[in-house]
Amino acid sequence: MTTFAEFNKQTSAKEVASSFGEFIRGRNVVITGVNPDGIGYGIAEAVASQDPALVIMTYRSQSKSDEVLKKLRASYPNVSYRPLQMDLSSQISVRTAAKELNKWPEPVDTLFNNAGVMSVQDRTLVDGIDIHFATNHLGHFLFTNLILDKLLASVQSSVPGSTRVVNVSGGWHSMSPVRFDDLNFEGKHIPVDQEPNKEKLIKLGFDPSKPYVPEVAYGQSKTANILFSLYLTKRLHEQGILSYAICPGGVMTEIGRHVPEKRAQQIIASGILDKTQEQGAAPALVAAFDPALTEKSGVFIDNCQFRDPSPHASDPAIAERLWHLSEELVRERFVI
């Protein structure tokens, strides 16, 4: 059996899935934010290729969900698929979706927290929270906790450590720590350790002096994804659940729809988008199904290999602080 040590930047999600097929067959998988042109579809297609029992896919757009289901059923007709409507930016929507999923009889063996939003140009609040943080982190935080019993039910019938939560983060986490003192870019004072990476922002052509920088908002949400995995594994590994965060790398997907046209053309011309959809999904498959991974393996997978994230994304104390902040923002306490 191939291990993650043999995978690299060019490895495709289907290659990874094929290597770990015995750990996918018969499993129940949930993937948030699956649309035809995103990382979520790459994950779904690779998983479906190895005969899982059930693939649950959340969506915002009915038409895109229908397109995804049509494509998957044409290629892998023997797999059961179940769509679930959910807007991760809305706590009401997340609670409604979780309630629906909890009615279904199947346990959840693997949860891919994949959905995301990037570079919304104007400061936008949803439920009083920056839209990047609300969608990319807080919605997934709430959803994961609300369906935790489904994950724990999987542990009862599986090998401990094979039940996993995979959070799709990214290299942009290096742009910013979590801004605990000014989460919503209201112009409040923040300490030095919460300031964005100004040098990197300037190098990429962004002005860090602006009160709201979309890339900083996105960056702090990606940091939160890693810290969330760090905390989950710390608290749940003894109960048989592990969590990892992954970096898809540079992939042309719909997440860039808010990037201004001129800036988008510059990004394309730079060559930074150097991965296919399948290559971008590959690290998520490693994180979800490689049986060699343990709570001591690491937390962040990039190009199918573990690497250290930025210090502000790897501190257990910061992860715990984020957990408590997240509980405050969803107005519910979760004891795990």
The tokens of 324 are what?
A: 């408590």
The tokens of 123 are what?
A: 């400061």
- Determine the pLDDT at residue 159: 74
pLDDT at 272 over 70: no
Each residue's pLDDT tens digit, 138-184: 999 999 999 999 999 999 777 777 999 999 999 999 999 999 999 99
DSSP annotation string for 84-152:
EE--TT-HHHHHHHHHHHHHSS---SEEEE-------SS--EETTEEHHIIIIIIHHHHHHHHTHHHHH
Residue 245 host element (H or E): strand 241-247
DSSP annotation string for 9-69:
TT--HHHHHHHTGGGTTT-EEEESS--TTSHHHHHHHHHHTT--SEEEEEES-HHHHHHHH
Q: Cα(165)–Cα(151) distance, rounded to whole angstroms? A: 9
Q: Please list the active-site residues.
A: 169
| Strands 163-168 and 129-130, sheet pairing | unpaired
- Determine the pLDDT at residue 170: 94
Q: Bridge partners of 164?
A: 110, 242
- Determine the pLDDT at residue 2: 55
pLDDT at 328 over 70: yes
Average pLDDT over residues 219-230: 98
Query: Regarding predicted confidence, which is higher, 256 or 229?
Result: 229
User: What's the half-sphere exposure (Cβ side, CA atoms, 13 Å) at 128?
Assistant: 4
- Determine the pLDDT at residue 251: 60
DSSP annotation string for 173-237:
GGG----TTSTT--S----GGGS--HHHHHHTT--TTSS--HHHHHHHHHHHHHHHHHHHHHHHG
- What is the fold of 13-328? Rossmann fold (3.40.50)
Q: Structural domain boundaries of the chain?
A: 13-328
The tokens of 30 are what?
A: 């949930």
Give the contacts of 334 (CB within 8 A, at least 6 positions apart): 145, 148, 327
pLDDT band at 248 (very low <50, low <70, confident <90, very high): very high
User: What's the half-sphere exposure (Cβ side, CA atoms, 13 Å) at 261?
Assistant: 0
Q: Cα(126)–Cα(128) distance, rounded to whole angstroms? A: 5
Return the minimum-mean-pLDDT range out of 90-104, 194-208, 259-273, 307-321.
259-273
Query: pLDDT exceeding 70 applies to what percent of the chain?
Result: 91
- Determine the pLDDT at residue 273: 54
- Determine the pLDDT at residue 336: 86
Q: Cα(223)–Cα(244) distance, rounded to whole angstroms? A: 13
pLDDT at 17 over 80: yes
Average pLDDT over residues 82-104: 98
Q: Cα(266)–Cα(199) distance, rounded to whole angstroms? A: 19
- Determine the pLDDT at residue 77: 97
Each residue's pLDDT tens digit, 20-75: 999 999 999 999 999 998 899 999 999 999 999 999 999 998 999 999 999 999 99
Query: pLDDT exceeding 90 applies to what percent of the chain?
Result: 83
The tokens of 111 are what?
A: 């949860």
Q: Cα(265)–Cα(254) distance, rounded to whole angstroms? A: 14
**What sign does the dihedral 113-279-174-294 (CA atoms) show?**
positive
Residue 264 host element (H or E): helix 261-270
Q: Supply the mean pLDDT for the chain.
A: 92
Q: Cα(157)–Cα(160) distance, rounded to whole angstroms? A: 9
Average pLDDT over residues 85-99: 98
